[in-house]
Amino acid sequence: MKKRLLLGLAVAFAAPGMASAQNPEQVRERIEGTRTTIEQMVRVRTTLSETRRDWEIYQETAQRRIDLFRSERDDLRLRLEETEARTTEAERRIAAIREDIDAVRAANRSIQEALPGLEARLREIAQYFPRPLRNRTERLIGQLGRSQQASDRMAVVVGLLNEADRFNSLFTVDVDERRLDDGEIVSVDVIYIGLAFAYYVDREGNVAGYGVPADGGWEWTEQTELVGPVRRAVEFYAGRVKPAQAVRLPVRITDVTIGD
């Protein structure tokens, strides 16, 4: 554009002879026209420069926005993938929990079906409990079959079985009373060997015997010759005899049939 501007000026002022051929008014008009053209060209050039600068600024701003939108898009995409992964994991966990619930429900149905038979059998077995075990389990026996919840009923059954198993695995000494053949009632120490057998002896050493499980309670048999051995066994269990001594005691095996 600078070259064209100089060319125009050269055309306007190159030949003096040409300027003299025209009157001054025409020369001024040509100069004014040239000045106006130059001013317009300068304004156009300035406008173009400003437009280009504005466009560059707009382009830079638009590029920043595009980069920001891309970053947000990538972040949203990552979050979406993480959410989908968590959703899939949650669905797997929910499916596993549902399987566990179904298994528990199936087990609960099996327990509910088996409970009446277990409770009935325990009531029969409880008739053979010796007095110490019966006193310990009386409350549980009274709760058999009373709850509507299978878990509560099963807890009672398990509690009774645990108490019976604990008693059956230990020696238990108890204080009880026995009625003699002449009607006299004496206080005796009783040593139970689990749920299978028991011996008793009075404190004075006059009465002794043994007992075995029987329907509705235990059956007791007096056997006076057992006074010495049973008394030594009771004294040793109480910690009053040291060192330990071996004693001979009779054992009778009783066959007890419960139910069918």
Can you tell me the mean pLDDT for 183-208?
Answer: 91
* DSSP string computed for 72-134: HHHHHHHHHHHHHHHHHHHHHHHHHHHHHHHHHHHHHHHHHHHHHHHHHHHHHHHTT--HHHH
Convert the pLDDT of each residue in 50-104 to its tens digit.
Answer: 888 888 888 888 888 888 888 888 888 888 888 888 888 888 889 888 888 888 7
pLDDT at 188: 93
Amino acid at residue number 70: R
Q: How far is CA 95 from CA 88, 89, 101, 108, in A?
A: 11, 10, 10, 20
User: Is the confidence at residue 233, as pLDDT, over 70?
Assistant: yes
| pLDDT tens-digit readout, 121-153 | 989 888 889 999 999 999 999 998 888 888 889
Give this prediction's pTM: 0.58
Q: Is the pLDDT of residue 163 over 90?
A: yes
166 confidence band (pLDDT: 50, 70, 90):
very high
pLDDT for the residue numbered 9: 46
